[in-house]
A = this chain, B = another copy of it.
Amino acid sequence: MVCITCFCRNRGLPVLLAAAAAFFAATAHGDEGMWLFNNPPKTILKQRYGFVPPASWYEHLQRSSVRFNEGGSGSFVSSRGLVLTNHHIGVDSLQKLSTKEKNYVADGFYAKTEDDEVKCPDLELNVLMNIDDVTARVNAAVPPGADLAAAETARRAVMNTIEQEEAKKTGLRCDVITLFQGGQYQLYRYKRYTDVRLVFAPEDAVGNFGGDPDNFEYPRYDLDICMFRVYENGRPAKIEHFLQWAPQGAADGELVFVSGNPAKTDRLDTVAHLQYIRDASLPLKLNWLMCSEVLLSTYGQRSEENMRRCREDLFYIQNSRKAELGRLAGLQDPAVMADKQSAETALRAAVAADPRLRTTAASAWDDVAAAIKILRDIYKDVFLLEEGRAFRCRQFSIARTLLRMAQEDANPNAQRLREFRSSNRASLEQEVYSPAPIYDDLETIKLADGLSLFVTMAGADNELVRKVLAGKSPQERAAELIHGTRLDEVAVRRELARGGLAAVRASDDPMVKLALLVDGPSRKVRRTKEQQVDEPLRQAYAKIAQARFAVSGNEIYPDATFTLRLSFGVVKGYDAEGRHMPPWTTLGSAFEHAAEHHNQEPFNLPPSWLSRKGELDLATPLNFVATPDIIGGNSGSPVVNRQGQFVGIIFDGNLESLVWDFVYTEKTGRAISVHAAAIDQALRKIYGAARLADELGK
């Protein structure tokens, strides 16, 4: 699934690469591109498809698009704030709402009236209102000749300040986004919705039909949808920009657009940077994912209730594992790296041949390599300490956030760590005061595993390891910490926050004490990364970006940054593994797929489907494939036609698309969507939800 955890996988790559002739890697070809809404691919759309929409077309689509801050996309589909996203995006809230008695994940949900809609504990939705380029102001704030530490501090200060000023001025959430790895800085202003209520979810069995085996596969048969409604002042919000509904859905060969929030791509990384990902960070992450998958699976298999508790965590881990395995396969393919190397060589040659570029940019690749060399020395510490894998449990995250909130509040806004800037405070509090349930048994095994990893990676004789374990085994220490902490209770968190730094320092909560113990070393490695890796990377990539603009012109797009992008392409089948993959599957073929697997989990259609099969038009398209350029984070993105009408919703890419993290190719790579017609049928005929079907597009 292409939620934020999903990146890249490769199947039969060399064939794909033959079709991928991206010379400078940033020059779009075919339907490539995750385009900025303030720099859309006008020339390409005109030349390739004769499509020349007015500016209002872009603005309407932009403001109809919704970002799920936990890692996905969605869209407004009614004037009364109805939001459509994927089941696997909504599942985070479904899980948090569930109890032993009521399982929203397994059983699904339908609110028969608006009064039945259920408030989510901590869901925040964002709508991008407008964008300003602030590159000049950000760069001007960094004094010429400043050393890296000073440059990083100055850059962070100006970004925090811009956001604070703008948030105060507009009342919106304001983020300064770093694009082109440092080549541009843009101010994104978002409207925030925090009263978000669950309206509809199908059963997990059909939302995630085929489970892990079918994930990233095609043909596919998932009703991967979920509906929420945003409220303001206790009533459904009145929404100006929402998508019209195209009841016929997407047609074969039709030009379609995708508006969503791809999380991260690595297409513009230098070869040295990619080698670091291949050799160091990705293997470490994959090992961690695999170990986590085993940990959670064994916990879940002990009982139905255990499985309910860890289901979403496990899904997240499995989905990431499958995607990251694909990324690794791509980077381990000698042909991919050779391709990247020749593109880099060509761009460097172009730079060397231009006296002006040579002066500004020739050293940039070596600068990247030098920063990456430092990153290779510290990435394990970053992983363990600052990313918190060594102390993996909800209560530690909460303890650290409360500690740092208190510490950073003592500093002027400009000096604070990015996530504690005042303009981000409301979102942060939404998260840290979430009443979502915490299961001590699950958190204990996660923490014990984290501490054990800490011993293995940092060494049993490491001073911090010894202090953290306090003479106990990882298992015992984890049990003691989880048993002793009171941070499960939201009131305790609020009380601690109210008391400020003094209260945090005086707390005898063992998890708070742990957060205090590790904060120094953790901040130290973060500082090293920010000053000696991130800042020089930004400076070097800014130079490379300028060279790209000079060589390729301005109609190029930056790597994905979990911000709103526009992609385009056509609905189109493909040939793979000796057979033709059709542009869509149908409701009927879902039943066939289940029958082939004796309706055994995870190929078990739920009773609601089995019992209403006779009432369905089985020829209705269910899932379809198209060429728009997407990646993890795009899950839930609306697919619209030339008229801007909703024709489907992205929920996955096929295995062949996973290499798109590094290089886009449309020969066999495809985005996979749920078809609008299937949504209409399912709501009306399976779930008896005509109230919602009638509301769509109105």
Contact = CB atoms under 8 A, between A and B. Distances in A.
A469 B328 contact: no
Interface in A206-231: 211-213
B13 A473 contact: yes
A476 interface: yes
A275 interface: yes
A546 to B, nearest CB: 30
A284 to B, nearest CB: 10
A212 B10 contact: no
A334 B279 contact: no
A211 B300 CA distance: 13
Contacts of A286: 291
B321 A294 contact: yes
Contact of A297 (B278, B297, B476): B297
Interface string A267-289: 00000000100110001001100
Contacts of A469: 334
Contact of A329 (B297, B321, B334, B474): B474
Interface stretch (A131-139, A168-176, A453-461, A516-524): A453-461
A460 B279 contact: yes
A251 interface: no
A572 B301 CA distance: 29
Contacts of A166: none
Contact of A473 (B294, B335, B466, B602): B335
Number of chain A interface residues as a range: 35 or more
Interface string A283-309: 100110011011001100111100000
A506 B257 CA distance: 58
Most buried by B among A11, A279, A297, A333: A333
A452 B471 CA distance: 38
Contacts of A213: 298, 301-302
B287 A602 contact: no
Given A291-B290, A452-B328, A460-B337, A301 B212 contact: yes
Contacts of A494: none
A39 interface: no
B301 A294 contact: no
Given A301-B212, A335-B473, A474-B329, A460 B294 contact: no
A275 B461 CA distance: 10
B334 A275 contact: no
Contacts of A474: 329, 332
Interface in A175-229: 211-213
A143 to B, nearest CB: 40
A415 B97 CA distance: 69
A337 B465 CA distance: 15
A90 to B, nearest CB: 24
Nearest to A282: B456
A287 B291 contact: yes
Contacts of A332: 452, 455-456, 460, 473-474
Given A283-B456, A328-B456, A329-B475, 17 more contacts: A10-B475, A13-B476, A212-B298, A212-B301, A279-B456, A287-B287, A304-B597, A304-B600, A328-B452, A329-B452, A332-B456, A332-B473, A332-B474, A333-B472, A335-B471, A335-B473, A337-B460
Interface of A: 10-14, 211-213, 275, 278-279, 283, 286-287, 290-291, 293-294, 297-298, 301-304, 321-322, 328-329, 332-335, 337, 452, 455-456, 459-460, 466, 469, 471-476, 597-598, 600, 602
25 contacts: A10-B473, A14-B472, A212-B298, A212-B301, A213-B298, A213-B301, A213-B302, A279-B459, A279-B460, A286-B291, A290-B291, A294-B321, A303-B597, A304-B597, A304-B598, A328-B452, A328-B456, A329-B452, A332-B452, A332-B455, A332-B473, A332-B474, A334-B469, A334-B472, A334-B473
6 smallest CB-CB distances across A and B, nearest first, come from A333-B473, A213-B302, A283-B456, A290-B291, A290-B294, A290-B290
